[in-house]
Amino acid sequence: PGNPIVYAEHCPHDDKPTVLVYGHYDVQPSDPDELWDSPAFEPVVKDGNVYARGASDDKGQSYTHVKAIESFRKTGQEIPVNVKFILEGEEEIGSPNLVPFITEHKDMLECDMVLISDTSMFGKDMPSITYGLRGLAYMEVEVVGPNRDLHSGVYGGAVENPLNVLCEMIAKLKDEDGRIQIPGFYDKVIDLTDAEREASAALPFDEEAYKKSLDIDAVH
């Protein structure tokens, strides 16, 4: 079911580690297409940059790894590690078929490390190694109210407005410091080590440039 999962490997070494490279070839919708300077699915190179849907998420990174392997082979050099590739086509919708595929092909996918080229850099000119990300969750909440539309002048104050109830529920998910108030939410969250906090604090974060790039006046 779903879009094809592409797998390839080059594993000539019995005594070297194996790197599994993950990427995805599906992309976000290109609309509104009229805002593109060139067709979204026809790559164009401008000033050394590739412009096309998926150029940075995630076809471009996947292509970079493939070309790196190709360069080794074209120059007659042996790759210093074993390499496996897995490219899926459903990342943008939550990878519904990836886990079953991995479960079914554990032996084939066995490796010493996984390289995921689907993150971003800390800064435009600062290549980064990302080893952790925030998670996210999607859910749908339905608030049921009266059996019909009510006139606020007659029923206001006596009957809760479902919209107000929903707003209050959402507002109570976090406290004023942004800490999530759902019981048990942090039970399995691993706290940052002192070394990680120090490394994070040492990053050259430019708050003014950050706000300017987003056209905002303040950060949380």
Query: Residue 82 CB: number of other CB atoms within 10 A?
Result: 19
Measured CA to CA, the distance from residue 156 to residue 150 in angstroms comes to: 8
Sheet holding 82-88, edge to edge: 6-10, 82-88, 18-24, 113-116
Measured CA to CA, the distance from residue 172 to residue 193 in angstroms comes to: 29
Task: Name all contacts of 64-68 with Cβ < 8 Å and 24+ positions apart.
Answer: 64/117, 65/21, 65/23, 65/115, 65/117
Residues 57, 58, 88, 91: which is the catalytic one? Answer: 91
Q: Exposure string (b/e) for 41-56, b if CB count within 10 Å is 16 or more?
A: eeeeeeeeeebbbbbe
CA separation (Å) from 72 to 8, 182, 209?
16, 51, 39
Residues 9, 26, 92, 118: which is the catalytic one? Answer: 26
The answer to whether 26 is a known catalytic residue is: yes
H/E element, 45: strand 44-46
Which residues are tagged catalytic? 26, 91
